[in-house]
Amino acid sequence: MAAPKPRTTRSRSHRDVPDLEKMDAAYSWDALEWTKIEPVRRSVSRVNLDCLLEAEQVIAEGYGVVLVNTDEAGTLFVTNYRLLFLSEGTRDVIALGTIPLATIDKFNKIVVKTNAASRQSEKSSPSRRLLQVIGKDMRIIVFGFRPRTKQRRKVYDALLRCMKPARIWDLYAFKSGPSKYSNTDPKVRLLNEYFRLLGKGSLHASMSMIEDGSFTLSNELWRITKINSNYTLCQSYPFALVVPKHFSDEEMLQASTFRARCRLPVVSWCNPGTGAVLARSSQPLVGLMMNMRSNTDEKLVAALCSNLASVHGSSRRKLYIADARPRKNALANGAMGGGSESSSNYFQSEIVFFGIDNIHAMRESLTRLREYLDTHGEKSSDGMSSFLRHGGWTWGGGNLSSMSASVSTLGDSGWLIHVQSVLAGSAWIAARVALEKATVLVHCSDGWDRTTQLVSLASLLLDPYYRTFAGFQALIEKDWLAFGHPFSDRSGMPTISGSGNMPYELSRQSSTGSFSSSPMRQPSGAFISQASSPPHAQTSNNCSPIFLQWVDCVSQLLRMYPFAFEFSSAFLVDLLDCMLSCRFGNFLCNCEKERQQCAVSEVCGCLWAYLADLRASEGSSHVHYNLFYEPTKHEGPILPPAAALAPTLWPQFHLRWACPKESQAGELEVRCRKMAIKFSEMQKDKEMAERKAQEMTAAMESLKSELQNEKQLSISARNAAKSASKECEAIKRAIQSLGCKVQVSSNGYCTVDIEGDLMKKSNQKSHPASRRVSHRSLPSPSEENDLSLSITVTADDVPSNPLGHICEALCPLRTRDGGCRWPDAGCAHLGSQFIGLKANFDAFDQLSIYDGYFKPE
């Protein structure tokens, strides 16, 4: 979600009011001028908002509502998906006042009255109708309503009906449907991750493979079993499990009875090269005296330590059993049949306790942190700045007690200490697996909260694939979703088991003091609770921010190793917002079995498809991409030293509502992102320019080649022209030597006149013969070299043997013995009525007389 907009100034000015009066007025809610906000009457049925999502419907609305945090007036809508607040003037969505219903932790009705000097003035002063909404995403927002309008009652009742439906199918995720954000079945993606871990990443799973059970592959050490395909072995485990290759399914059934909720030890991550294993389970059922044992369970744990002789010298590897609980909690669980392992029962084993508190401590810690941020933020939910709180306790008053109290309050929340404990435990596990190639078995009580945190975070440190978008999705789907982290219970959403009844009840406790839980926020006005309108206590005993805390740990690693992750902090924030909002079906229900029963993957939208669509809209310049990602810099495990595990507040998530300016990315990152976008644009321009340059180079080469060809053709044509000129001159002289006159007209036609005594005599004896014969024009020099010229003379009355007379009278090539020096020319055809002379220019080169007869130029 986007950060809230900066505070806008209302119509009232406090310039002429003394500072103390300003503070008193602001804190007693006098700054809200209800008379200047005129509600606009509209019908819900006529509301047509462009900002509504698919299948989102307006349930109730309130006009003239004031968002006390920023002193903004607007319209408040309750839909079947969220609480939507629009600005009165611009009709823009105000991000701070807009919160999904599933993200709301609790909400209360509060009545505020200012301190009055007399009863008469108290009666004349109207009370303020307020609605306080506390979110799971670290915000506390307050809406103010006009008195005697019953708008707060409408909004409150709508929240009661819609925020926590009785049935899971009434959630917005089921109403909206998959839309365009559909994806493959999560079982297929789980098998693909198993194949990758077994070194068979080239294979791809399919639904047909799941239906016929042909996914049971194996390598030298591990195999995929389908013993839990119907969830008969363990209802909270996935349908497929990775177990030791030589451990049978019958033995697995026996071993499951020794672990809480039948969550027996299985492989969560393994290194196909070294054989190192990261396994998970629940606590063993050793009993109060810690003397219960299971030979099958001990055999299974020993099988997890099996080794390849080629990889390690011994046949067994070191075993570490990491218990996430404090030691005293593990011993206390023995009274209920649980407990922890004994190192004497597990060969070459070492038991380590991490001391991470339970879900109740985490829930209370986050509540204290949220109150601290609201109290000391730039703008609190009571509309007063932390700089002006309690007069002398101001930052600028010279008294540092408020600063020390603030730091003490942050420390008292314990949130950063819990985050550090999870980080330290995960780093310890990753170091044992990476450096010692040991087997580490992790568990807590049930094996689905602290165990999931440690195993998934250690896998993130060990495997660089999990630090990419695709790998991070596979990690969450495997260790959090498939292995049964109870998301519905931890977020307070309905489940299948509770869909028949109303699992949530209203608390009867008074709301007095609920608005000012911090000792530093004692009001100057009077908060009067309404006995008839108790707060809606949505938080059950099982709600806890376990997944939020894990994502916080990931953000701490991202801060320490900015080059190791493909995704950015903004991606983690959007991921958390989608999980808390329950807009998609990925994080509904408590386990894989329940999601299959609800057909979540078929009827609900997919979170991963939605996030991928966001990234595809802008490419690598999207805010989800980490600008500093360099995969070659961290190709192996990340092993942070203990001194580096000093967590801080996560600004992009913790401070985005209380301190919006400080929650934004640092100036350096903003500039780097702008430079990256500009560099990407320049890179595209460069590639386009290079393509154009290559095209121009190719065109120039083509033109150069054509010019070369034209040059060669020109030279050839010039040579042919010279040769033709020479031949024409030679033919002309040859014809003239025969007593003929050659005349060439301007249009290129050649006319040959033959004169002689013989022809004259022939003409006298016969009819006049055509003496002038038109022939083909001499070819131009640019045409082909194979040139020929035919000269024919026709006569009506030709002597029977004209050749002899012509040759004897005219031909200088006639030899004394009657032969011809030009036999290849075919100058005549005897015995016919045709007398002709045919000159073949190619035959000139074969004449021995050429050089002697024809004079050179």
Q: So which residues are the catalytic ones?
A: 444
Instruction: Decide if 135 contacts 98 (C-beta within 8 A).
Output: no
Cα angle, residue 269 at apex, residues 267 and 273 outer, rounded to 5°? 110
Q: What is the 3-state secondary structure (H, E, C) of 584-605?
A: CCCCCCCCHHHHHHCCHHHHCC
Question: Rounded to an integer, what distance in angstroms lies between the CA atom of residue 193 and that of residue 203?
Answer: 10
Instruction: Decide if 533 contacts 156 (C-beta within 8 A).
Output: yes
Helix (H) or strand (E) holding 279: strand 277-280
Task: Give Cα 773 distance to the centre of its chain.
Answer: 89
Question: Rounded to an integer, what distance in angstroms lies between the CA atom of residue 285 and that of residue 257?
Answer: 9
**Taking the CB of residue 620, how many other CB atoms lie within 10 A of it?**
12
CB contact set of 466 (below 8 Å; sequence gap of 6+) = 459, 460, 472, 474, 475
Main-chain phi, psi angles of 167, to 5 degrees: -115, 145
Task: Give Cα 270 distance to the centre of its chain.
Answer: 26
Cα angle, residue 783 at apex, residues 777 and 785 outer, rounded to 5°? 100
Q: Which residues of 652-676 are buried (b: 16+ CB within 10 A; e: fewer)?
A: bbbbbbbbbeebebeeebeeebeee
Question: Rounded to an integer, what distance in angstroms lies between the CA atom of residue 538 and that of residue 522?
Answer: 25
Question: Rounded to an integer, what distance in angstroms lies between the CA atom of residue 465 and that of residue 446?
Answer: 28
Question: Rounded to an integer, what distance in angstroms lies between the CA atom of residue 653 and that of residue 655?
Answer: 6
As to burial, measured by CB atoms within 10 angstroms (0-12 exposed, 13-18 middle, 19+ buried), residue 799 is middle
Return the bridge partners of 222, or none: 244
CB contact set of 405 (below 8 Å; sequence gap of 6+) = 393, 520
CB contact set of 156 (below 8 Å; sequence gap of 6+) = 107, 109, 131, 533
Question: Rounded to an integer, what distance in angstroms lies between the CA atom of residue 665 and that of residue 794?
Answer: 106
Question: Rounded to an integer, what distance in angstroms lies between the CA atom of residue 768 and that of residue 655?
Answer: 123
Smallest CA-to-CA distance from 438 within 325, 352, 355 is with 352
Instruction: Decide if 349 contacts 320 (C-beta within 8 A).
Output: yes
- Please give the DSSP secondary-structure letter assigned to residue 754: E
Q: Any long-range contacts for 143-147 (C-beta under 8 Å, 24+ apart)? A: 143/62, 143/65, 143/66, 143/67, 143/68, 143/76, 143/85, 143/97, 144/29, 144/32, 144/34, 144/65, 144/66, 144/67, 144/68, 145/62, 145/64, 145/65, 146/34, 146/37, 146/39, 146/64, 147/34
Return the bridge partners of 280, or none: 266, 442
Question: Rounded to an integer, what distance in angstroms lies between the CA atom of residue 231 and that of residue 809?
Answer: 124
Return the bridge partners of 774, or none: 751
Structure tokens at 572: 């983690």
Question: Rounded to an integer, what distance in angstroms lies between the CA atom of residue 421 and that of residue 49?
Answer: 46
| AA identity, residue 103 | T
Structure tokens at 318: 């070191």
In a 3-state reduction of DSSP, which class is residue 678? helix
